Amino acid sequence: MYRIGMFSKLGKVTIKTLRHYDEVGLLPPAQVDAETGYRYYTTEQLFKLHKIVALRQMGFSLAEIRIYWTAAI
């Protein structure tokens, strides 16, 4: 598992972006430490992050991506 800082570096997005993706329900952390509030992400989530970034670069809104993810399940 990766803490949010390392995950943001691996995914080449800001920590603020990851927090926003969590807030809108797109990419919640795999685990949140109850005592510290640290957010942890898995390697598998890196693939999902890359898909989100690619869709954003193609011009899709976060709402459209969320619809895509709901339909893909």
Here the CATH number for the domain that contains residue 48 is 1.10.1660.10
DSSP letter at 30?
S
pLDDT for 71 beyond 90: no
Token pair for 70: 């709901």
Q: What is the pLDDT of residue 10?
A: 96
d(C-alpha 36, C-alpha 70), whole Å: 31
Q: What is the pLDDT of residue 28?
A: 96
Mean pLDDT, rounded, for 16-30? 95
Q: Which domain holds residue 36?
A: 2-72
d(C-alpha 40, C-alpha 29), whole Å: 6
Number of compact structural domains in the chain: 1
For the stretch 26-43, pLDDT in tens is 999 999 999 999 999 999
